[in-house]
Structure 1
Amino acid sequence: MAGSFGSISTALSGLRYNQVLLDVAGNNISNADTDGYVRRRVVGSSVSSAAPALWSRYDGHGEGVSVGEVRRMVDPLLDARVRREHGMLSYLQTTSTVLSRVEEGIGEPGANGVHAAMLDFRNAWQDLATNPGGAAARQQVLGRAETLAQALRVQVSNIAGEEADQQVHLTSLVSEVNTAATDLAALNRSILVTEANGTDAGTLRDRRDQLALRLSELTGATTTVRPDGQFDVSVAGASLVSADVASTFAIDPAATYGGAVGAVTTLLTTTLPAYRAGLDAVAADLANAVNSQHALGFDANGNPGGTFFTFDPAVGAASLQVAITDPNLVAASSLGGTARNGDNADALSRVGTYSDAYQKLVNGFGTQVAAVGRQTANQAALTGSLDTAWEQQAGVNLDEETVTMLTAQRAYEAAARLLTTLDEVLDTLINRTGIVGR
């Protein structure tokens, strides 16, 4: 053996090593519920014997154990996939939430929706066609027309309100991206300096991983790891973080983003404007068809029909208004002078394709909402399975930590017992050798 004093060093290394095991296990247990915490594992390294001098012999078998490293239990490939799938999930969830809210505001099918108002408007013309001289029937036409125009204006207002909300949301997201990028660049620098000084930077790395994940959720960012361990982050092919330098993020209309930012920009530039344009087209068809047919008829005074709806193409459906306030000006008859019939009212009940156009618009939007909902559910399942895999890899298992703690405790006790035994051996050697028989 290496000698009694060498054995003391070996036993002492066991005490120190198992103390680190206990400390790390305790830290893991303490952070079991901490978001983003990656469990640590102590990697031991056997201490080899020193090389003997020339012409000398050494019959030892090692000189104990040392802490090789305290390793964070991460899988870089799994981390990259988790970030990618979380970015896609964030995109779909943001889109689904907004579209569902818009669909709720559309209110179709429903008694108070635009489609119901269109049916009531056509039915009012039918009632007037059967009773062209009835004042109540004329007033009903105007009332139903105002209800329809208002229903379209409300829908357009809801879309405009959602667009305004999403503009504010986008501004907030851009600000969050810039804050996260600045913090991540600072952590790159701190980790490099901390580890160069020989200090563990595990906590800093945990925080950096969380920021990288958040940037993926916000923008669909891609993170790459440098040989020195620093993170580089790019968004839509443009550098956002390079080592300890963070660029200022701003929306580029030509870029295609992922994550929440990508969802909001798509909603603002494509989805919501397309639906609003569809409503404008429906309102234009309604106004043009009714006005054209109304001009062919005659009112209660025998005069040609005037403009029924006012509509400004530059403004769209928000400008739709009923132009007539006097029921006697409703041109229900196809005959002028003193003769009266309800033929023009009957024609007005069937004129235009606005009902079909609106139904097609709403059905298309509903199909889009349902499709995004299904995609979101599928993506959530995929992301959830990856989160489970990450938790198994990097999360704290209390049962496993308890076993580690008990193992370290017993090993510590054994090393302490070895020290006690060596102390007794040395006491015998130093204090008792040569005194027998005195």
Structure 2
Amino acid sequence: MSTFSGLEIAKRALFAQQASLYTTGHNIANANTPGYSRQRVNLEATSPYPYPSVSNGGQAGQVGTGVVGSSIERLRERFLDLQYRGIYKDVGEHEARADALEKVEIIMNEPSDKGFRYVMDEFWNSWQKVSQPSAEYPTRETVIQKGKALAETFNAMDRELKELQQDFDEQIKTRAGQLDTLVKEIASLNKQIGELVPHGYVPNDLYDKRDLLVDKLSKMFDIDVETVAIDVQGKKVDGAVNIKLKQPSVDLVTGNIAADISAEPAAAPSDKLANGNTRHVLNIGGTVLDAANSPVGGEISGLMQSRDTAISSYINKIDTLASNLIKEVNAAHGKNFFSGTGARDIGVAISDPNDVANNSGEPGNNDIAKAVYALKHKSVTFTVGGNNTSTTFDEFTRSIVSTLGNETEAAQNSRENAILITKQIDMSRQSISGVSPDEEMSNMIKFQHAYNAAARTVTVIDEMLDKVINGMGVVGR
């Protein structure tokens, strides 16, 4: 075993510990980088000397030849990634739905002691007071004021609910642009990775960037991710990822090719938002996602459901309540008390308090006021979404508010549960992939000591060579 081999061992040790130190420094530098996975240099002992052979020197045993950094490994658990993405889609869906319902509650000012139901009750109570034989001019003026307050409440709710639906349509348009950018960035990373891997490189940082983008995509859609393995010198190495929307099955990314994603007007001219504006659908590589072919799971699904179902249903309920109220109150009052046809344009048609519950010029007659007040508990047929429901004005109003409260609470609970599970899975991911500065500092000291020892080995061998070159053969001079 020559001194040259000793220098080679020391050189290899220096290079291996240096690579470990550089990788540790890279970890520390990216301790707070989103999506970064901790890296580790895998050290392996090199082949010993001499190699087994029938012609070797026959010396006893083999002498080691040092160490080499065989690879730089990215510490990441693929199973946890699958779990995380499977739950993250639920976070996106439930966040969108809870956001919509919470905003509907704000519009109706419910739950509150001054909300929509309170305004309705105040209107009915004003008629109860007029139905008393002693009701005078100020009491009848109160009926008009309460009627105007109710009409204005209907007008505001109708306007704001339609604006909310329009806002969710705008969000879908915005997400279409974000999705298009995401899938194209993933396809670009697939291309970069594909150009490096066949040449023996393992682009860990590119893998991290791609996984972070796939995580973001998984919040918007329920996706299938397939990693294509590449055989490099007998080893399987990750290459491109192919991504599909699960239901309906649509290709998002295939190798270096990304689907074109855009928002476009609904095909049917009659398919409008409640305010008459254009309703937008998603076009993914020629496949249209709309109410008839909506995605299952993810933020996009939550936005579409909220726009087309949740918000739309409350617009229809409020309008149905207003239109029935106009019809029934006017019929019982004889002379039109309300003007308009629904929540959008309901108003009070009477301005003179003497015209309130005035039966054939007999202001003292309270039969009309009793008839109008009785409507609060009269069974009426309400038609919402093609379904007929027979109930009273009071019960229908209460059902709107209670249903909204129950749906909002359910959506909030689902959102919080999904967020909690996602955080737990992410904590498990971080326990493997996350960077601990304390641990990295400990590793740095370890690698520094090993590097110093390897450098000391070079010094010792240098001294040995000096003795051989300059100290031998001078005896007796």
Cα 1:63–1:133, aligned 2, differ >3 Å: closer, same or farther?
Answer: closer
Q: Which residue of 2 aligns with 1:261?
A: 300
Pairing partner for 1:76 from 75, 78, 82? 78
Equivalent residue for 1:303?
A: none
CA distance in 2, matches of 1:45, 1:211: 33
Please, which runs of 5 or more residues in structure 1 have no aligned partner? 296-305
Between the aligned partners of 1:132 and 1:37, the Cα distance in structure 2 is 78
**How many Å separate the matches in 2 of 1:61 and 1:339?**
118
**Which position in structure 1 is the counterpart of 2:55?**
55
Against the structure 1 CA distance between its residues 423 and 109, is the aligned structure 2 distance closer, same or farther, given a 3 Å change threshold? closer
Give 1:340 deviation, angstroms: 4.7
Residue of structure 2 equivalent to 1:108:
110
Match of 2:257 in 1: 245
- Of 8-17 and 286-295, deviating more is 286-295
SS in 2 for 1:374: helix
Q: Which of 275, 280, 283 matches 2:322?
A: 283
Question: Which residue in 1 is equivalent to 2:235?
Answer: none
Structure 2 residue aligned with 1:343: 367
* 85-94 vs 191-200, which moves further: 191-200
**Count of equivalent residues:** 422
Change over 3 Å in CA distance of 1:241–1:38 after alignment to 2: same
Match of 2:382 in 1: none
Gaps of 5+ in 2: 231-238, 263-281, 283-288, 379-391
Query: Are the equivalent residues in 2 in contact too, given 1:43–1:70 (CA < 8 A)?
Result: yes
Give the 3-state SS of the residue equivalent to 1:91 in structure 2: helix
C-alpha contact (below 8 Å) 2:96/2:306 kept by paired residues? no
Find the counterpart in structure 2 of residue 231 from structure 1: 241
Cα distance in 2, alignment partners of residues 10 and 52 from structure 1: 20
Contact 1:102 1:159 in 2 (8 A): yes
- The alpha carbon displacement at 1:64 in A equals 1.0
Report the RMSD for the aligned CA atoms in angstroms: 2.0
1:66 is aligned to: 68
Q: State the secondary structure of the residue aligned to 2:72.
A: strand
Equivalent in the alignment of 1:36: 35
Residues 106 and 337 of structure 1: is their aligned pair in 2 closer, same or farther, counting only changes over 3 Å? closer
Higher deviation after alignment, 264-273 or 321-330: 321-330
The residue aligned with 2:336 is 307
Within the candidate set 122, 143, 146, 2:148 is matched to: 146
The separation in 2 between residues aligned to 1:263 and 1:339, in whole angstroms, is 55
The secondary structure found in structure 2 opposite 1:70 is strand
* Cα drift, residue 147 of structure 1: 1.0
From 396, 413, 427, give the equivalent of 1:357: 396
In 2, the alpha carbon distance for the partners of 1:153 and 1:317 equals: 6
In the superposition, relative to structure 1, how do residues 414 and 392 fare at CA in structure 2: closer, same or farther (>3 Å)? Answer: same
- 2:41 and 2:56 map into 1 onto residues whose CA distance is 36
Q: Distance in 2 between matches of 1:321 and 1:263?
A: 35
Once the two structures are TM-superposed, the CA of residue 242 in structure 1 deviates from its matched residue by: 0.7
Structure 1 residues 19-71: Cα deviation after superposition (integer angstroms, max 9, x where no partner): 00110001111111111111100001221136366422364333111111111
Q: Which amino acid aligns with 1:325?
A: S
Summarize deviations over 1:214-255 as a string: whole Å, max 9, x none. 101122333221113211111232110011100023520103
Aligned equivalents of 2:429 and 2:158: distance in 1? 45
What TM-score, normalized to structure 1? Answer: 0.91
Q: Which residue of 1 aligns with 2:454?
A: 415
Is residue 272 from structure 1 mapped to residue 311 from structure 2 by the alignment? yes
Higher helix proportion (structure 1 or 2): 1
Q: Is the 8 A contact 1:220 1:258 kept in 2?
A: yes
- The code of the aligned residue for 2:411 comes to V
* Cα distance in 2, alignment partners of residues 337 and 154 from structure 1: 35
2: CA distance, partners of 1:12 / 1:325: 100
Q: Distance in 2 between matches of 1:131 and 1:125?
A: 12
Query: Which SS does the other structure have where 1:263 is aligned?
Result: helix
Which structure's residues are more often strand, by fraction? 2
Contact conserved, 2:129 with 2:135, CA < 8 A, in 1? no
- What is the CA-CA distance between 1:332 and the residue it aligns to? 4.0
The range that moved more, 108-117 or 257-266, is 108-117
